[in-house]
Structure 1
Amino acid sequence: MASQPNRLDLSYAVRVLESPKQSHLEAMHHVLRYLKWTSGQSLFFSSKFDLQLKGFCDAYWAACLDTRRSVTGYCIFLGNALVPWKSKKQHRVSRSSAKAEYRSMAAAICELSWLKNIISDLSVATH
C-alpha cells in the first residue's frame, strides 16, 4: 500500500476561507509561505500494522485574532494508520496557554476513550 501525505497543520486555515475577506488573503499568503518552508514535512501511512492506540494533541493559544479563541488539534493512530484527526477553534477563550493545552488534551482523551470502547466492543485484541 502506498504512503499518502496529510497536512493536519493546514486544516483549520483552509476551513476559515469559506467566506474570504482581505485579511484572509493576507493569511493565505502566510500559509503559502509556510508551505514553501515546510514542504518536506508530512504524515505518512505505512503498510505495517499493529493494533496500538496512540494519540497526539496540541493547542495554538489565542490563535484567532478576532475572538482570541485558541485552536485545538489532535490526531490518533491505530498502529501506523491515522484514524481520526481534528483541528478546531475552541468554544471558550483560554486565559493561559496551559488551559488551551488542557482543553486540547481533554478532547483527544475523549476521542481515545471512545475508540478504545469501540475496539473492545468489536472484540479486537490490542496492546
Structure 2
Amino acid sequence: MHYPSEYHLAAVMRILSFLKKAPSRGLIFIKLGHLDVKDYTNADWAGNITNRFSTSGYFTFIGSNLVTWVSKKHNEVA
C-alpha cells in the first residue's frame, strides 16, 4: 500500500478480470444480521520526533467487513 508498483497493479487487474468473467463468484460479505456502517479516524500530530510530520488515517466497516482504509503521512510540519 505504501509503495505500489506495476506488479501490484497487474495483480489487481488480474483479480478484477477474473471476477468480471465469473460473476457467480464475486466478493463475499458475511451476513451477521446487520449492515451498520462504522467509520473510525485517528491522527497523530507531530508524533514522529525525527521530522515532526503528522500522520492521519481512517477505516470503514460495513457490518463486520472492512471495506476502506487510508493512512497518510502529511508533508507539512505540525
TM-score, with structure 2 as normaliser = 0.49
Q: Larger strand proportion, structure 1 or 2?
A: 2
Structure of greater Rg: 2
Higher helix share: 1
